[in-house]
Structure 1
Amino acid sequence: MNKDSETRYGTVTRLFHWGMAFLIGWQLLKVFDRIDDGEHWVGQTLVPWHVSIGSLLLLLVLLRIGWAMNQKHNRPAQDPAVAFLVKAGHGLLYAAMLLMPVTGILTMLGNGYGWKVFGIQLAAKGDEIPWMASLGSLHSPIAWTLLVLIVGHIGMALLHHFARKDDVLQRML
């Protein structure tokens, strides 16, 4: 079942969801880079991939948005009483997932570092561009906002599963 249905999310949607969840979790490990100047396993092993994984996430979120728009009429039905809140919450998650890599790229370019993805130089090192660096400075606050949204998303999924005992979580598993 590749496409979504009224009762369950399809394979493609679930691959986007869980694959991106894994990669975003990896990205959030960047916070450990601030401990002991990154002189530990996480800082030396996972953090160096931060820009490349973030760039991959930008591509994936764009593809995911396109897929979601294509599947919007096939999605599982929402409880009408909370449909607005569900759409608003997901909209904020998508916005944060899109803004994170964009502000990260603005940080790299704005500070003159260039932009290198999986060993491929996409933009050369150059002069600092203050307006880009300024917008890029939103990267960290957006990361904390995304973390709060993720915790809320997980919390609501668990609430549905354990308290409401409905099939909301099962749709994505």
Structure 2
Amino acid sequence: MLKDSQDRYGIVSRIMHWAMALLIGLQLLKFFDRINDGEHWVGKTLVPTHVSFGSLLLVLIVLRILWGISQRNQRPEQDPASAKLVKAGHGMLYLGMLLMPITGVSIMLGNGYGLTVFGTELVARGTDIPWAASLGSLHSPLSWALALLIFGHIGMALLHHFVHKDDTLKRMA
């Protein structure tokens, strides 16, 4: 089943969800960069891919938003009692996921570093752009907020699966 249905999410939604979950999980390893100034195996092996994976995530997030809009009338139904909370939670997740790469690119361009993605220079080094650097300064606080939202999302999925014993988690698995 390619598209979403009232019973479960389709293969496109599930692949995008889990691919993004994996990439975001790798991105969150950047928090380890704060330990010993990144001088450990995580900092040396995974952090150098941070900008490339973040750029890939930006593309995936935009595609996933467009896909979600196209599937909005076919999605599994929500419990009416919690539908507004679920939509608000997912809205904040999407906003956070969208703002992270935007503010990340703002750091790179705002500080004149340029932008190289998977070894390809997209924007050459240049002069500082103060407004972009200022926007980029939101990247770190947003990462903490997004991490909390993600852990809340995981917690709610587990609550539905183990406590409510409904099919919420199975719809995306």
TM-score bracket, shorter-length normalisation: over 0.9
**Structure 1 residues not aligned, in runs of 5+:** none
Q: Runs of at least 4 residues of structure 1 off by over 6 A?
A: none
Q: Distance in 1 between matches of 2:165 and 2:33?
A: 39
* Aligned twin of 2:132: 132
Cα offset for 1:136?
Answer: 0.4
1:46 counterpart = 2:46: yes
Q: Distance in 2 between matches of 1:40 and 1:80?
A: 48
Alignment RMSD, CA only?
0.5
Cα offset for 1:39?
Answer: 1.1
1:104 counterpart = 2:91: no
Cα offset for 1:38?
Answer: 1.0
* Aligned twin of 2:151: 151
1:171 counterpart = 2:171: yes
Cα offset for 1:36?
Answer: 1.0
* Aligned twin of 1:85: 85
Q: Distance in 1 between matches of 2:118 and 2:159?
A: 39
**3-state SS of paired residue (1:84):** helix
Residue 91 of structure 2 aligns with an amino acid whose one-letter code is G
Q: Distance in 1 between matches of 2:63 and 2:161?
A: 28
* Aligned twin of 1:26: 26
**Structure 2 residues not aligned, in runs of 5+:** none
**3-state SS of paired residue (1:122):** strand
**3-state SS of paired residue (1:68):** helix
Q: Distance in 2 between matches of 1:67 and 1:92?
A: 18
Scaled by the length of structure 2, what TM-score is found?
0.99
Q: Distance in 1 between matches of 2:58 and 2:26?
A: 14
Q: Distance in 2 between matches of 1:122 and 1:146?
A: 27
Cα offset for 1:37?
Answer: 1.3
Q: Distance in 2 between matches of 1:161 and 1:44?
A: 37
Cα offset for 1:143?
Answer: 0.5
Residue 162 of structure 1 aligns with an amino acid whose one-letter code is F
